[in-house]
Amino acid sequence: MTIPFFQVTAFSQSVFGGNQACVMPMDAWLSDDLLLQIAQENAVAETAYLQRLDPGVYALRWFTPDLEMDLCGHATLASAHVVLNHLEPRLDRVEFDTQSGRLVVTRSEHGLDMVLPNRMPTSAELPLALAESLNQTPLEVHLARDFMLVYACQKDVEQFDVDRTLFDRTNLGTGGVIVTAPGEGCDFVSRFFTPQATILEDPVTGSAHCTLAPYWGARLGKSVMQAHQLSARRGALRCEVKEDHIQVSGQATTYLEGTVHLNQT
């Protein structure tokens, strides 16, 4: 069995920045166990699997090396890049049917505009294990799918760290921990960490901005914001808060194109 394979860098114009995702179009779904094994073999933050339903309409699923996710922004951006540049390049819009509903991505002057759910957080208490794992105490704690820890300035986010042993005692399901603060040269900055995950820090996390954008939009009194994720690879995102959703925009670049050969015994 062979499957087309694309490795794409999302939220960056450089193949050495942003966040890597593997995108694999297939005619029919393989078993969940096999999809997870492939994601483990790909060994990047996320593998996106596509199944074409109609012209410009695809079913989309996301797998980390550890589990299937309900939403992944950077792999959605990468999937749209593959559809609009490799699979159906005459199109300017693609729709994805996902666990989080139908997601639409459109070409624009910003690169690719991606419609994502608005996940405005509410105030919360930190789980004890999570609180004990942090190298600095946040000013605010909020919760949507992910915990969001708010700090005073960009330097706090840059210097943020966790005790991995204590951090991994925290069970957040499919959620993670967003660390954020006002930005220098942008509206806000962030980093994203997942306990018990093969990849501790995600390089650029589109889905985290479902929570970051409405929070900072309300705090700053803005509907359009520029954001930077401060991982080692770095990423840049444009966020716009709409009435019932958010729009996250960014660039994507193809790094690798090939074929996966599955020789199952």
- 262 phi-psi bin (left φ>0, alpha ψ -120 to 50, beta other): beta
**What's the CA gap between 20 and 254, in Å, rounded?**
10
Instruction: Check 46, 95, 201, 240 and give the catalytic one.
Output: 46
| Nearest Cα to Cα of residue 213 among 229, 227, 200 | 227
| Nearest Cα to Cα of residue 146 among 117, 115, 114, 173 | 173
Amino acid at 127: P
Quick one: tokens of 24? 């694999």
- Specify whether 46 is catalytic: yes
Q: How many residues does the chain have?
A: 265
Q: Known catalytic residues?
A: 46
